[in-house]
Amino acid sequence: MSSDAQRTDGGARNQGHGLRRDVDLLEALASEEAQHAGGLGVVRLAHLVGREKSQVSRALKALAEVGIVERDPDTLEYRLGWRLFSLVARTVEDRLLRAAEPVMHTLSGELEETVHLCVLRENQVLTLLSVSGHSFRVHGWEGRGVPAPCTSAGRVLLSDATPDELYVRFGLQADLGAGCPRSPVRTLPDLWSAIQRSRRDGYAAVREEFEEDLVGVSAPVRDFRGRVVAALNVSAPKDRLAARLADAGRVTARAAGVVSEQLGWRMRPVPPSSRRFT
């Protein structure tokens, strides 16, 4: 091998090695310890990745310059940066659709009902994709927004929200059930109770709250951070699904868990919040 080729090959190896070391740092900043603490210092990061403090400091400064990590000006600790999350956000919806569609087909076939993949947009639930395994099909939902408070999908999509966040989102809206006269969720405390019930059960269920003769269940899909990014929803006429709604909810929760795992989430129970709505 010529000296030029050797230099090129050696440079490529060094770049690859450097990239792996940067990935190790990002993995450490994505750890439960870092997420719980809100960031990690150079000394702790050096210990976690087994590198010299000076090397870690230089690598972090370079990553911070391009927004991959950011440094808290008060604590001087590092956390994952805005550019990394921006890149993730641009790819997560495409990955979500690719991960969810085959699972939705399996779920639809198992329940012989229509399955929807839903996301939250402002205060509305938007359906990204619908799959039907039955002659009864709910037409026209894709791309259509519906109120979040009176739908099972809305309740699981809001399950990460705190009482304060719900207040900011919905403000002093007089009636959260406006347009859904059958829904018992009319106030923010009503919504908070419904959300906590869905967190406890692992799924949310509604019976004719949004539309007469229509019942449904929804379960949360979580990303690699554990945040709810979508919901799997199963909807059907009450005479066909109402009697097995709880079973459908559990099956849907398992399917949502499969999608979550494909997005990088390691399954573990999500405990009900100890906070109260005041």
CATH of residue 9's domain is 1.10.10.10
Global model pTM greater than 0.85: no
- Residue 249, C-beta contacts closer than 8 angstroms, at least 6 positions apart: 201, 202, 203, 204, 205, 217, 219
| Residue 174 domain boundaries | 91-262
Quick check: 97 and 127 in contact, CB under 8 A? no
- 267 lies in some domain: no
Contact 217, 113 (CB under 8 A): no
Of 38, 59, 80, the residue at which a domain comes to its end is 80
**53 and 143 co-located in one domain:** no
**What CATH code is carried by the domain that includes residue 193?**
3.30.450.40
Instruction: Walk along the chain (278 residues) and give the pLDDT tens digit of each residue.
Output: 554 544 444 444 444 456 788 899 999 998 888 877 889 999 999 999 999 999 999 999 999 998 899 999 889 999 988 777 666 656 667 788 889 999 999 999 999 998 999 999 888 898 988 898 654 444 455 556 788 998 999 999 999 999 999 988 888 766 887 778 788 888 899 999 999 999 999 999 999 888 888 999 999 999 988 999 999 999 999 999 999 999 999 999 999 999 999 988 876 655 556 566 66
Note whether 98 and 141 are same-domain residues: yes
Tokens at residue 14, please?
A: 């060094």
For residue 267, what pLDDT is reported? 66
Distance CA 62, CA 56 (A): 10
**Among 80, 100, 127, residue at a domain's last position:** 80
Are 26 and 135 contained in the same domain?
Answer: no
Neighbour tally for 199: CB within 10 Å: 20
What 3-state class would DSSP assign to 231?
strand
Phi, psi for residue 166 in degrees, rounded to 5: -65, -40
Buried b / exposed e over 203-231, threshold 16 CB at 10 Å, is bbbbeebbbeebbbbbbbbbbeeeebbbb
Same domain for 185 and 256: yes
Q: Is 57 within the bounds of a domain? A: yes
Rounded Cα distance between 247 and 202, Å, is 12
Rg over CA atoms, the chain: 23
Quick check: is 278 in a domain? no
Report d(CA 278, CA 88) in Å as an integer.
Answer: 35
